[in-house]
Amino acid sequence: RAKNAGRNRYRFFEAAMTQAAQARMALEVSLRPALARQEFELHYQPRIDLDGMTVVGFEALIRWQHPQLGRVPPGEFIGIAEETGLIVAIGGWVLREACLQTRRLVEELGRPLRVSVNVSARQLAQPGFVGEVRTVLESSGLAPHCLELEVTESALIEDMERTAAMLGELQGLGVKLAVDDFGTGYSGLAYLRRFPIDVLKLDRSFVMQEDGRISAFDFIKAFVDMAHALRMQVVAEGVETAEVLDFLRAASCDEAQGYLLARPIPLDALGALLRAG
Ligand code: C2E
Ligand code: MG
Ligand code: MG
Ligand code: MG
């Protein structure tokens, strides 16, 4: 009996695995032509300056409208895009689209705004990446200081020497560099000092603990002070409550992003929000 139960459990497991693998495969197959079929769109999540409570920039977040499945969240396809290498083409499109749309907004509104674009490790690993960024800035007409590139700690670790040199070149163009999801990886501030980082984006889990409580104030405050001493700006991600917002302001955090302030929205809505002031 025991043996039977074990076998059944195995069969169940095997079937579940196959289903997951099939779903992943199906997604991969439809991801390949998605760019050419223009199924991607960018949404933008405003970033707010905590002193003036004004919108100083926004993060470009990709959205995929799958012809059968409807909207597929990035968490479900970015990983596949990275594994297959499709992220290089998709990421290139994101960069061009974000720069062009932002240049138009900056021109219309007559004030500097910063667009933040997520860049994956596979893109950074491309020898021509710096050249690509330079070309996109030129063809879009966006001022380099209006573009910020977000990389994760794990992308920095991959080939440290080369990555540090490359980030130096990007900074040389005038582009801002941010570390995304800080606090979810293994590195600390001391480690990040080796890279020319302008902005530290604190992951939601850095400020909000798993039990739903806010982290110790002294700790966060000391951390923000240390980042400032290293000339890094601190941006908090995933701010959902007024309590967290007050906490961050008291801890002298520079900027914040989160559902409390604004959700990621289509370009039209972003334009309307910015025009309204
Ligand atoms: P991320 O770069 O850390 O982006 C922030 C994510 O948190 C976004 O999810 C955003 O919608 C969500 N978020 C914003 N405010 C809140 C909040 O108050 N509470 C909570 N719980 N979540 C909030 P999204 O758009 O689903 O993107 C997920 C991830 O997919 C991104 O995380 C990023 O790593 C990746 N991603 C999105 N667009 C791109 C892209 O164009 N290129 C690359 N390489 N990755 C992308
Ligand atoms: Mg990001
Ligand atoms: Mg993030
Ligand atoms: Mg995050």
Are 45 and 263 in contact, with CB atoms under 8 Å apart?
A: yes
Residue 7 predicted with pLDDT over 80: no
Residue 5 predicted with pLDDT over 80: no
Write down the pLDDT at residue 1: 54
- For residue 33, give the DSSP letter: T
SS3 state of residue 176: strand
E strands, the chain, are: 40-49, 55-66, 70-72, 114-118, 147-152, 176-182, 199-202, 233-236, 255-256, 265-266
Q: How far does the centroid of ligand 3 lie from the alpha carbon of residue 8, in Å?
A: 41
Q: What is the model's pTM? A: 0.94
Q: The tokens 């500097």 sit on which residue? A: 112
SS3 state of residue 22: helix
Which of 237, 240, 245, 248 for mutating ligand 1's site (highest number of atoms within 8 Å of CB)?
Answer: 237
Total residue count of the chain as it appears in this document: 277
Query: Which atom of ligand 1 lies at the shortest distance from residue 259's CA?
Result: 18
Alpha-carbon separation of residue 250 from 50, 207, 208 (angstroms): 10, 13, 15
- DSSP H helices, 110-185, are 121-124, 129-140, 153-157, 160-173
Instruction: Spell out the residues 6+ positions from residue 38 whose beta carbon is closer than 8 angstroms to its own.
Output: none
Residue 15 predicted with pLDDT over 90: no
Which tens digit of pLDDT belongs to each residue from 224-271? Answer: 999 999 999 999 999 999 999 999 999 999 999 999 999 999 999 999
**For 66, phi and psi rounded to 5 degrees?**
-75, 135
Which of 77, 78, 119, 151 for mutating ligand 1's site (highest number of atoms within 8 Å of CB)?
Answer: 78
Return mean pLDDT, the chain. 93
Write down the pLDDT at residue 51: 94
Q: How far does the centroid of ligand 2 lie from the alpha carbon of residue 109, in Å?
A: 24
Task: Please give the average per-residue pLDDT across 64-73, as a whole number.
Answer: 95
Distance of CA 189 to the CA centre of its chain: 19
Task: Please give the average per-residue pLDDT across 23-50, as a whole number.
Answer: 96
Which helix H or strand E contains 103, and what residues bound it?
helix 87-109
Task: Please give the average per-residue pLDDT across 164-189, as a whole number.
Answer: 92
Q: What is the value of ipTM here, to two decimals?
A: 0.98
Q: How far does the centroid of ligand 4 lie from the alpha carbon of residue 264, in Å?
A: 13
Which tens digit of pLDDT belongs to each residue from 93-116? Answer: 999 999 999 999 999 999 999 999
**Residues by chain with Cβ below 5 Å of ion ligand 3:** 180-181, 237
Which tens digit of pLDDT belongs to each residue from 179-237? Answer: 999 988 777 888 898 899 999 999 998 888 888 888 888 989 999 999 999 999 999 99
Which residues is 235 bridged to in the sheet? 201, 255
Write down the pLDDT at residue 176: 98
Residue 3 predicted with pLDDT over 70: no
